[in-house]
């Protein structure tokens, strides 16, 4: 990728994350985003049709970043495979969300939370398809694809329930444990054992 484009994307992602920490999604305008990122609006529209399309890009970038952080965390924790690695990934996700608590509160408080949740769920399903394709008998089968969608929806619901609970920091382990069990039961076990 061209270095200028990479620099533009990084500036937009950083600016959007900062703006989400300060205000709800609806109150963020393309003009505000461009001003914070120090890019021209024409540059923004050269790459994205609108703020909603940019949010999909932002969520996809967040997915890659979280998986990278999760993999690094799994290596540090010694979880090279199995449930240890999944627990490390979910702990990294929870830690990231807690670090960006104001942004998450603004996302969950947004009137666009339904649409944004769908985008995030689609990205979670992509991660699961990528991670479990090698373990699936047929990674293109409707059963496997449906299981990934089901697990992603379950994880997103667990995330919402955890986020709405009292004492998020103290209940992080319960969120991680429930998420790991959900994924294991849905994707890691052979179909005959379910």
**Pairwise CA distance, residues 85 & 78, whole Å:** 8
For the stretch 170-180, pLDDT in tens is: 889 999 999 99
Mean pLDDT computed over 49-57: 92
Tokens linked to 168: 């998020």
Question: Is 42 a member of any domain?
Answer: no
Whether 59 contacts 119, CB under 8 Å: yes
Question: Is 14 a member of any domain?
Answer: no
Question: Is 4 a member of any domain?
Answer: no
Question: Is 33 a member of any domain?
Answer: no
Question: Is 93 a member of any domain?
Answer: yes
Indicate whether 11 pLDDT > 90. yes
Indicate whether 193 pLDDT > 50. no
Tokens linked to 175: 């969120």
What pLDDT does 49 receive? 96
Whether 168 contacts 161, CB under 8 Å: no
Show the domain range for 187: 50-193
What are residue 188's phi and psi, to 5 degrees?
A: -80, -30
Question: Is 30 a member of any domain?
Answer: no
The span from the first CA to the last CA of the chain, in angstroms, equals 44
The model carries a pTM of: 0.75
**Considering its fold, how many domains does the chain have in total?**
1
Question: Is 178 a member of any domain?
Answer: yes
Question: Is 22 a member of any domain?
Answer: no
For the stretch 99-149, pLDDT in tens is: 889 988 888 888 888 888 888 888 888 888 888 888 888 999 999 999 999
Mean pLDDT computed over 154-177: 90
């Amino acid at each position: 990728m061209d270095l200028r484009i990479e620099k533009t994307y990084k500036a937009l992602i950083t600016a959007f994350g900062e703006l989400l920490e300060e205000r709800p999604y609806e109150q963020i305008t393309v003009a505000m985003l461009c001003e914070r990122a120090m890019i021209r609006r024409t540059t923004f529209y050269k790459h994205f049709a609108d703020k909603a399309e940019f949010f999909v890009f932002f969520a996809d970038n967040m997915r890659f970043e979280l998986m990278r952080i999760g993999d690094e965390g799994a290596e540090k924790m010694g979880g090279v495979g199995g449930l240890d690695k999944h627990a490390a990934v979910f702990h990294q996700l929870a830690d990231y969300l807690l670090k960006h608590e104001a942004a998450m509160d603004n996302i969950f408080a947004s009137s666009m939370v339904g649409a944004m949740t769908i985008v995030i769920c689609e990205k979670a399903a992509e991660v699961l398809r990528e991670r479990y394709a090698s373990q699936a008998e047929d990674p293109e089968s409707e059963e496997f694809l449906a299981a990934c969608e089901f697990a992603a929806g379950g994880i997103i619901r667990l995330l919402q329930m955890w986020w709405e609970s009292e004492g998020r920091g103290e209940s992080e382990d319960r969120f991680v444990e429930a998420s790991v069990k959900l994924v294991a039961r849905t994707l890691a076990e052979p179909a005959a054992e379910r």
